[in-house]
């Protein structure tokens, strides 16, 4: 009888409480994404976000001069030679990526390349995620080989994702890509 009264008393106390019961699923977690390299939703702790075809208000076609405080002049070398680029510098002087200027004038942004995992898209995709995570998040994507290299890219909308994969086929297929292949860069065109 003593146990029954204790249970009734405990039930009455819990019923009068205005706080919801906490379970392992509802307990607040201080930093749920700490150490998580898998895709997760964008949250307020993400320092940089790609949104609406732009990054830090920079978008293809915009004047370089409008963003001098975010940029550092540099040069890039690849199979086609050397060309000027502008490194994108973050709040703590970290390199977030770079941008190319339009070849005909050098004063406007041609396209932006993100190389830092601190930058996330609206869909929660960042450098370091796998191809499988990208497809899980975006669904159907277009696979292509880069015009100037054998690197494989997948694209959807204004974003193109460079993969850590080389393929000399003209038209690589999605089935040619290992699901664990990492994203090495995100381009805004």
> Which of these, 35, 37, 55, lies nearest to 47 by C-alpha position?
55
Task: Give, in degrees to the nearest 5, the angle at Cα 88 between 82 and 93.
Answer: 120
Confidence of residue 150 (pLDDT cuts 50, 70, 90): confident
Dump pLDDT digits (tens) for 126-139.
Answer: 999 999 999 999 99
- Mention every residue, 6+ apart, whose C-beta is less than 8 A from residue 66: none
The token pair at 12 is 């009455």
Find residue 130's DSSP bridge partners.
182
Reply yes or no on whether the pLDDT at 171 is more than 80. no
Reply yes or no on whether the pLDDT at 90 is more than 80. yes
Query: Is the entire prediction scored with pTM above 0.85?
Result: no
Reply yes or no on whether the pLDDT at 28 is more than 90. no
Percent of the chain with pLDDT over 70: 71
- Residue-level pLDDT at 19: 46
DSSP 118: T
CB atoms within 10 A of CB 158: 16
pLDDT average, residue stretch 135-160: 87
Reply yes or no on whether the pLDDT at 62 is more than 70. yes
Residue 37 to residue 188: CA distance in whole angstroms:
22
Confidence of residue 84 (pLDDT cuts 50, 70, 90): confident
- Residue-level pLDDT at 24: 41
pLDDT average, residue stretch 76-94: 83
Q: Report CA-CA distances (Å) from 132 to 27, 49, 57, 60, 180.
A: 30, 21, 29, 28, 6
Confidence of residue 166 (pLDDT cuts 50, 70, 90): confident
- Residue-level pLDDT at 44: 67
Pairing of strands 119-121, 109-114: unpaired
- Residue-level pLDDT at 105: 81
CB atoms within 10 A of CB 154: 22
Quickly tell me which residue has 């669904």 as its tokens: 139
Residue 58 to residue 86: CA distance in whole angstroms:
12
Residue 48 to residue 99: CA distance in whole angstroms:
16
- Residue-level pLDDT at 37: 46
Enumerate domains of the chain plus CATH numbers.
Answer: 48-188 (2.60.460.10)
- Residue-level pLDDT at 83: 76
Residue 177 to residue 22: CA distance in whole angstroms:
43
């Amino acid at each position: 009888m003593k146990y029954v009264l204790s249970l009734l008393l405990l039930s009455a106390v819990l019923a009068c409480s205005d706080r919801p019961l906490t379970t392992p699923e509802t307990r607040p977690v201080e930093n749920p994404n700490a150490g998580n390299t898998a895709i997760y939703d964008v949250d307020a702790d993400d320092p940089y976000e790609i949104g609406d075809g732009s990054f830090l208000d920079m978008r293809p076609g915009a004047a370089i001069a409008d963003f001098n405080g975010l940029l550092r002049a540099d040069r890039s070398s690849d199979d086609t030679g050397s060309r000027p680029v502008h490194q994108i510098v973050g709040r703590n002087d970290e390199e977030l990526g770079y941008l190319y200027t339009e070849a005909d004038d050098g004063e406007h942004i041609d396209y932006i390349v993100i190389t830092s995992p601190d930058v996330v898209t609206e869909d929660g995709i960042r450098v370091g995620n796998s191809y499988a995570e990208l497809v899980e998040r975006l669904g159907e994507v277009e696979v292509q080989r880069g015009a100037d290299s054998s690197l494989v890219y997948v694209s959807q909308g204004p974003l193109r994702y460079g993969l850590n994969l080389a393929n000399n086929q003209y038209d690589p297929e999605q089935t040619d890509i290992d699901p664990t292949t990492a994203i090495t860069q995100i381009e805004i065109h």
